[in-house]
Chain A
Amino acid sequence: MTVQEKIAKPQIDLYPFEVRIEQDNNAAEYAVRFLDVPNIIGSGASIDEAIVEARGNLKEYLDYLIDTNRDIPLPSTDKSFYDLSGKMTLRVSKTTHWKILQRANLEGVSVNSLLNEAIISYLNDIIYAKNSSASSNSVDKEDGFADRFRRPISK
């Protein structure tokens, strides 16, 4: 696959988004808006539901743009994304290394899976926290993403 083809079909999950709590009619729901494609939104009773809907809408939109030979807005992380190998070496203290092994053993998962889950949860936390600082409602507090990171990871 050429770089052009890869760019023509960017992965939906690469598009960064923000989450807000929208209130209307005495009801609240989560709203997701893509930073690079602000005209595409999604909503739901939970954050996950809102993300799924927003990504579904984004997919339809990108399909439409591709079908009509239009330029598609690339995710801001996209340009350098394809140069990455997905492998990295991480230096940690012996204590941290020991804790990671203990936790992975306890959960019955590989160190790789454990660290993946932890890093993804942490990065999601940052996105939600960044958004919640702009809004008076804290998504982070309500959904407990930070807590999920701290809780044992379920199998």
Chain B
Amino acid sequence: MQLSYANATIYSVSISIYEQKDKILEKVLKTPTPSDITIEQLITVLKIYGIQVVRRKSSHVIFEKIGGEQWQQLVIPISGKHIKTICIKQVREVIMRMIEEEKK
């Protein structure tokens, strides 16, 4: 009984995480580009597509899809709490291209 309660809790937490990820993804893909996206949100979104942080400094974060191509490598400058809209656009372009290539 206790085990099934624990399973249900894990299940609901998982759903909640997925919902959060979906919301962030929706936000990144939305136009006009939102200007209140944080680097942590970007990390979450890119992780869905297998693009991960390979180097992190206070000024820049470098993302890469391991075994991927050059266009799947991103350098995001950090200046303040939110990411510049041009970088969000670039992330959006990469995600859209990956979706297109998956369809092929």
Chain A residues with CB under 8 Å of B89's CB are 22, 24
- Nearest chain A CB to B89's CB is how many angstroms away? 7
Q: Once the chains are docked, how many angstroms separate the CA of A68 from the CA of B85? A: 29
* B71 touching A22, Cβ below 8 Å: no
B90: Cβ under 8 A from any A Cβ: yes
Q: Of A24, A53, A64, which is within 8 A of B85 by CB? A: A24
Residues B48-83 near A (CB distance < 8 A): 54-55, 57, 59-60, 62, 70-75, 77
Chain B residues with CB under 8 Å of A40's CB are 75
Chain B residues with CB under 8 Å of A29's CB are 85-86
Chain A residues with CB under 8 Å of B86's CB are 22, 29, 31, 41-43
Main secondary structure of the interface of B (DSSP, over half): mixed
Chain A residues with CB under 8 Å of B33's CB are 24-25
Q: Which residue of B lies closest to A40 (CB)?
A: B75
Q: Once the chains are docked, how many angstroms separate the CA of A38 from the CA of B94? A: 12
A60: Cβ under 8 A from any B Cβ: yes
Q: B residues near A, CB below 8 A?
A: 31-33, 35, 54-55, 57, 59-60, 62, 70-75, 77, 84-87, 89-90
Known: A61-B75, A64-B62; 19 extra A-B contacts, CB below 8 A, are: A22-B85, A22-B86, A24-B33, A25-B32, A25-B33, A29-B85, A29-B86, A38-B70, A38-B71, A39-B74, A39-B90, A43-B84, A43-B86, A43-B87, A60-B55, A60-B59, A60-B75, A64-B54, A73-B70
